[in-house]
Chain A
């Protein structure tokens, strides 16, 4: 179904991303990322040169100024994912632009913006966001990483885990406890810099999916962080800041899910067209045709929903609970579409050479991260019932 959220600028930008994919996102490159467990910095910088990284950085700091408009970001997702071997890059770009830059762009002090954002626009500096701890995921208030006030700054102790881009990022926007107890105002966001004494990366995590995008454990032992790295310069705002960027984080996962599902339909059509069984292409069997019809319709509905959410986000009207609906619903439809796609690929759907198999493994985490889908349901339930 024709989508209606894009204008000629988005289509011109889509051509840019397609050309970028042709030149930089080759299957050989993707293999290298998988082998290294991370996307190389040169590719990130090349992407930044063409405005594919840095879309959310404000114009005055050298970015595209699209923090409040997810459409260009969605074009990036659609093209990187649709080519069949760009999911690691899509992930790395997403963490930087959707999860790290916003905290500095929205809530940073003028000095923090001036210090970090120009280099985040060029990918000289890459960012990540660290919330989850070994003992605190959905239950964020159980976080135990502390930042104790000392003269001139803070001393940070604790550990974070499952941090996307945690190894490659130069700066980590980190959720820490600056107060006592677990009241919302006991927490703050603080920028940890790679290389600070006492900041170590733990062992490489072997994941089910996204082999080409790094996910790390981080440990902090008496890491001294200067005052100037406290996001916004005021303690106790951590929860508030997180809450304010949640709509974007959840929307971004929903938009990625739609892009993956759309690609999954395309891969499945391609495969079943070329594969023959019982003397005719698999796509000509009624079962295939019915399943494809369902998959394609599901994708249309996903986009109708995500596009509406993108429009609301642009107007500043997408609430955290509405974004939660988008996140859990889209990632579950994505899972169903991919599962069906794998089935229609037969044995080849189980082979990682095929993009449908890789996408299937990658997609599993979409129902877990960015807030588990169970937490998303709880948030939606709270909003519609008015009961905690």
Chain B
């Protein structure tokens, strides 16, 4: 079984993240780039399955800038067997539509029985890439799973909503997205780092995939303007003057639908 895990390389959420007001893109210089943490949980699902099922091939697919290499190596150090990295100047600022086309084309090239991804990235938070990829490939898609069971011919899992746990399943091949509710991913060790150096990483350009970023026959979202976030205004302060602060606080919370 070949499981392909989609990993996005994003600015570290532990560092301060800023947008460039020139380009509208994340400032890469201000925060270290890391593999997206939900993507790492998706990788953990694949690796745990591979640990228990010999002959499983876990492949990582990343679309992102040159600097993604360190994070891709980390995924290999964690235990993935190989990786594909799509990097192309034409992808700077790519919208979800173009990214999904690229991912789908790359998946067609590397082959898959199951595609796993985080339900959304911690930077863009579009949340739709996995379904868009599934649509391109004509595959069933299970989204936002909080538990995943991989079988020989099908994948199943649970999606938690506010009042119900929904059980879902789909025949393979399929696309599955998982949430941050999944367990912490493993982290590599010395041997993993050394082994990763010998694992293959195929680097592809848009031309290799037969795609043209400037082809606008498909609608693309294009950023026109960007503004700095306005400074936060002063909040509401409730002081307990007449002993009715609790009442006023609960009224405020109710008014704002917070309770």
B31 to A: closest C-beta gap in Å: 15
Interface residues of B in 73-88 (CB under 8 A from A): 73-74, 77
- Chain A residue with the shortest CB-CB distance to B14: A22
Query: Does A20 reach chain B (CB closer than 8 Å)?
Result: yes
Q: Is the CB of A12 within 8 A of B70?
A: yes
A49-57, A142-150, A267-275: which lies at the interface: A49-57
Q: Is the CB of B187 within 8 A of A13?
A: no
> Can you list 28 pairs linking A and B with CB atoms under 8 Å apart?
A8-B70, A9-B193, A9-B197, A12-B73, A12-B74, A12-B77, A12-B188, A12-B193, A15-B74, A16-B187, A16-B188, A16-B189, A16-B193, A19-B187, A20-B187, A23-B184, A23-B187, A49-B189, A50-B188, A50-B189, A50-B190, A51-B190, A51-B191, A51-B193, A52-B189, A64-B191, A64-B194, A72-B190
- Chain A residue with the shortest CB-CB distance to B191: A51
- Chain B residue with the shortest CB-CB distance to A9: B193
Q: Is the CB of A16 within 8 A of B70?
A: no
* A72 proximity list for chain B (CB < 8 A): 190
Q: How many residues of B contact A (CB 8 A)?
A: 13
Q: Roughly how many angstroms separate A15 CA and B189 CA in the complex, as a whole number?
A: 10
* A8 proximity list for chain B (CB < 8 A): 70
Q: Roughly how many angstroms separate A8 CA and B197 CA in the complex, as a whole number?
A: 11
Judged by DSSP, the binding face of B is helix
Interface residues of A in 216-267 (CB under 8 A from B): none
- Chain B residue with the shortest CB-CB distance to A12: B193
* B184 proximity list for chain A (CB < 8 A): 23
* B74 proximity list for chain A (CB < 8 A): 12, 15
* A9 proximity list for chain B (CB < 8 A): 193-194, 197
- Chain B residue with the shortest CB-CB distance to A20: B187
Interface residues of A in 7-27 (CB under 8 A from B): 8-9, 12-13, 15-16, 19-20, 23
**What is the 8 Å Cβ interface bit string for chain B, positions 16-36, against chain A (1 contact, 0 not)?**
000000000000000000000
**What is the 8 Å Cβ interface bit string for chain B, positions 162-200, against chain A (1 contact, 0 not)?**
000000000000000000000010011111011001000
A121 to B: closest C-beta gap in Å: 10
